[in-house]
């Protein structure tokens, strides 16, 4: 961050990939893996928890389709793969409320797409 | 960033608000202000410039509609309001290539939506 940058507008900005590809695409897609419902759930739960400087948004293809539903939280740049509402709760409580990590659900630097064929 | 976090997956992750509201909505919307074409242009130009660890994505409503087309670049959390392709070029060259700021186009902490009525 440069010295003259304005303060962060959101303390945590969450992006949930909601890209949908046709059934049978070799890479799959986050929407096909259920990301849209998880995004809706996350938005609603963040509101219920009163997380005021947190924003949850849908996003286009984040290009980690094989490891989706893909979620990234900035400014930390930490990626998660929630597959159930319980997973979303775990990310909310561990990361967004407590400021830690939901370690079990994190993507790592090894989670990269296979080379284009 | 916590010590055990994986390295950033993208050096710069750009989100362009592509939310569209009905014509005449009091807050307007970024898509109504032309954000979709600017997103397409930015993606194409970033590719032409060979910016490999930069990702440009569309996003849902970033809630700064009055100051749109709204663009935010993470991990810095710097917001911009490009209105033309020339503005997008300025952001690409000043911020994403040179690592500085396109100061003229930045949103500031004063650019907040009016209170809900």
pLDDT tens profile A49-104: 999 999 999 999 999 999 999 999 999 999 999 999 999 999 999 999 999 999 99
Sorted by sequence, the CB contacts under 8 Å of residue B63 that are 6+ apart come out as A55, B113
User: Is A35 a residue whose pLDDT tops 90?
Assistant: yes
- The pair phi, psi for residue A49, each rounded to 5°, is -80, -5
Residues of A in contact with B11 (CB under 8 A): none
Whole-number average pLDDT of chain A? 95
Query: How far apart (Å, rounded) are the C-alpha atoms in residues A45 and A63?
Result: 26
User: Is A1 a residue whose pLDDT tops 60?
Assistant: no
> By the CB < 8 Å criterion, does A94 face chain B?
no
Sorted by sequence, the CB contacts under 8 Å of residue B44 that are 6+ apart come out as none
Query: How far apart (Å, rounded) are the C-alpha atoms in residues B91 and B97?
Result: 9
Q: Do B100 and A2 touch (CB under 8 A)?
A: yes
Q: Do the Cβ atoms of B7 and B20 come closer than 8 Å?
A: no
Structural class in CATH, domain A13-107: alpha beta
> By the CB < 8 Å criterion, does B64 face chain A?
yes
Query: How far apart (Å, rounded) are the C-alpha atoms in residues B10 and A116?
Result: 18
The ipTM assigned to this model is 0.96
Residue B116, pLDDT score = 78
Of A13, A59, A107, the CB nearest to B58: A59
Of B2, B8, B63, the CB nearest to A55: B63
pTM of the model: 0.96
Instruction: Return the SS3 of B103.
Output: helix
- Residue B98 corresponds to which tokens in the numbers above? 């040179």
pLDDT tens digits, residue range B10-31?
999 999 999 999 999 999 999 9
Instruction: Return the residue in A20, A54, A59 with the most chain B beta carbons within 10 A, the one to mutate for interface testing.
Output: A59
User: Is A45 a residue whose pLDDT tops 70?
Assistant: yes
Min distance A24 CA to chain B CA atoms (Å):
23
Instruction: Return the residue in B6, B13, B66 with the most chain A beta carbons within 10 A, the one to mutate for interface testing.
Output: B6
């Amino acid at each position: 961050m440069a010295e003259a940058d304005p303060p962060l507008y959101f303390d945590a900005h969450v992006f949930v990939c909601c890209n949908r590809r046709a059934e049978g695409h070799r890479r799959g897609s986050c929407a096909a893996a259920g990301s849209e419902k998880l995004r809706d759930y996350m938005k609603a739960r963040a509101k219920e928890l009163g997380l005021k400087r947190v924003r949850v948004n849908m996003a286009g293809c984040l290009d980690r389709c094989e490891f989706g539903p893909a979620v990234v939280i900035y400014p930390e740049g930490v990626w998660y793969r929630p597959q159930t509402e319980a997973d979303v709760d775990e990310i909310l409580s561990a990361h967004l409320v407590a400021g830690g990590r939901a370690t079990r659900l994190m993507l790592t630097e090894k989670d990269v797409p296979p080379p284009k064929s």
